Structure 1
Amino acid sequence: MSKIIITCAVTGSIHTPSMSPYLPITASEIAEGAIGAAEAGAAILHLHARDPANGRPSAEPAHFMGFLPQIKQRSDAVLNISTGGSATMTLAQRLAAPKLAEPEMCSLNMGTMNFALYPAAARITEWKHDWEKPFLEGSDDLVFKNTPRDMATILQEMGVERGARFEFECYDISHLYMLRHFVDRGLVQGPLFIQFVFGVLGGMGPDPENLTHMKLIADKLFGDAYAFSVLAAGRHQMPLITMSAILGGHVRVGLEDSLMISRGVLAKTNAEQVLKIRRIVEDLGREVASPAEVRAMLGLKGADRTAI
């Protein structure tokens, strides 16, 4: 098997500050969380920003630039900036920071979908900020818009014009076929890095059968011109990403995807999750890829060609 890529998603836009005191909020917290994850073995850092005043997901370039230079100066990890942002943001807002930073990688969501977070609101009894409860509860009527036109815009503005490669986030079988469509249109070239996403209400359930079926269809559509990684929400994180490692895939951890390190125990840092999955995959005989190896594997342009 090839060397395994560990991605760490440091803070995301799903969890709210009331869910964990360890969720990175400020620029320094996000930077330290990312650098710690890189030191633990994460070669790719998947990055969102937050408003440091209240922890709300932010698309403001200034919030991103509060931590991106720090991470680049202190780490060789590949910086992967989300173009998904939050489902409540417009496409223009979601693209503002990536267009400014011109990173080596961006995420790209491959379909419009429901993105329901409202069940989480019932588990919180004390709220730190007044935006959190309406944000979560309002997701019962939220559509995460990613139309073919949106995707083509991102591929053009971030890929063609700025040389970024993509983490193609696929929450459903249909998203694989949409990616094939863009390959056929000539807007996407290999090697592809596809992130199978499980456990978000509105996307695929976290069933092992769904993972094996996703791999089967991806093999059919892309042959050997792709690599896959797995992320899974909450308590499903470690079991499904371990399965990915067994199947020859790559893995993603981080407080964006799960706030826990074990049942009932909050993770205090992103690095804890990186170290846990690193132990697991190395015990399985997989060797962890370095950032330099990932750049070669995915055909990235190099950190020196970014605007960070």
Structure 2
Amino acid sequence: MSEPAIITVAITGAVPTTKDNAAVPVTPEQQVASAVEAFRAGATVCHVHVRDEHERPSSDPQRYEAVRAGIQRECPEMVVQFSTGARGRSIEERFACLELRPEMASFATGSVNFPNQIYENPPAVVEDIAPRFVALGIRPEIEVFDLAMLYKAADLVHREQLAPAPHVQLVMGIKNALPPRESLVEFFAAEVAELIPGATWGCMATGRFQLAANRWALARGGHVRTGLEDNLYYDKGRLAASNAELVARAAGLCAEYGRHPASPAETRRLLHVSTVGALS
């Protein structure tokens, strides 16, 4: 019997705009519609950034809530994951969305250089934010832009500052951070298994390496992420028509590796997220 592979769709991100690809959803209404299409194509987790009226990264809780409410109305089985990252926002703004108590939220446990700025997550902030995830009942997705973040996450779990068995995501392909290499995925998978027993893991890569990263994860029992946040193209020279198109391709890869796209129930069980019937 094949093993499930969770497909996360990163629908918008902090950088791409409709000038880059008209399919990038930037209003709450567009984001909900894109998430529903992606769910029907096989994605069971939606990673959400929100934008303001000028398509700039935003922390507006009303926009986050509008996207969550719309997804829960149209496809309540889908797990909604808020992003606490993004360019052009203060640390306080970035983490304000936690007060909305999403089912999941991203959490980078350290700082890293981005092409034109430092993605700041100072030690004191990390130590302060981690127990907030526990207190608010939010399942974290640890975003690993640098391998030191994995070791910090393991330390937080061991000290019970984070709940056991989080989801851990390797992020590759951002300039100045980790390159997209299969050997890194091999190493990462082994380290997660040793350091954080029971944790689920996945990996993603930007641009043309998105598909390769999907394959590297599927081959090793990991989970996958796709979507217009990470890659605007379907093939060289051809823009992706939608998030759903990228999700459908990832779903189609699963059988090549003896896997199947995780159902909503399998996704919630693997990520330790409440079942739909238990949602408030």
User: TM-score normalized by structure 1?
Assistant: 0.85
- Partner of 1:228, secondary structure, is strand
How far did 1:301 drift? 3.1
- Is 2:183 aligned against 1:209? yes
Runs of at least 5 residues in structure 1 that lack an aligned partner in the other structure:
117-138
Partner of 1:4: 5
Partner of 1:110: 109
- Is 2:237 aligned against 1:238? no
How far did 1:305 drift? 6.2
- Partner of 2:87, secondary structure, is coil
- Is 2:255 aligned against 1:254? no
* Cα distance in 1 for residues equivalent to 2:121 and 2:32: 28
How far did 1:92 drift? 1.5
Letter in 1 for 2:200: A
Partner of 1:16: 17
Partner of 1:150: 125
- Partner of 2:259, secondary structure, is coil
* Cα distance in 2 for residues equivalent to 1:56 and 1:305: 35
- Is 2:262 aligned against 1:289? yes
Between 279-288 and 260-269, the greater mean CA deviation after superposition: 279-288
Q: How many residues align?
A: 278
Partner of 1:134: none
Superposed CA deviations along residues 72-128 of structure 1, whole A, max 9, x for unmatched, are: 1011200011111x132112111222312x111111112101111xxxxxxxxxxxx
How far did 1:16 drift? 3.0
Partner of 1:276: 249
Superposed CA deviations along residues 30-52 of structure 1, whole A, max 9, x for unmatched, are: 1111111111111111111011x
C-alpha distance 19-143 of structure 1, shift in aligned 2 (>3 A): same
How far did 1:153 drift? 2.6
- Partner of 1:230, secondary structure, is strand
Partner of 1:197: 171
Alignment of 1:152-167 (within 5 A): 152-157=127-132, 159-167=133-141
* Cα distance in 2 for residues equivalent to 1:303 and 1:94: 27
- Partner of 2:164, secondary structure, is coil
CA contact (8 A) 2:134 2:162 kept: no
Letter in 1 for 2:233: M
* Cα distance in 1 for residues equivalent to 2:149 and 2:126: 11
C-alpha distance 306-107 of structure 1, shift in aligned 2 (>3 A): farther
User: TM-score normalized by structure 2?
Assistant: 0.94
CA contact (8 A) 2:3 2:258 kept: no
* Cα distance in 1 for residues equivalent to 2:42 and 2:84: 24
- Partner of 2:47, secondary structure, is strand
Letter in 1 for 2:165: P
Superposed CA deviations along residues 200-240 of structure 1, whole A, max 9, x for unmatched, are: 11210011122112223223322x42221011101000011
* Cα distance in 1 for residues equivalent to 2:20 and 2:247: 20
Letter in 2 for 1:202: N
Percent identity, please.
Answer: 31
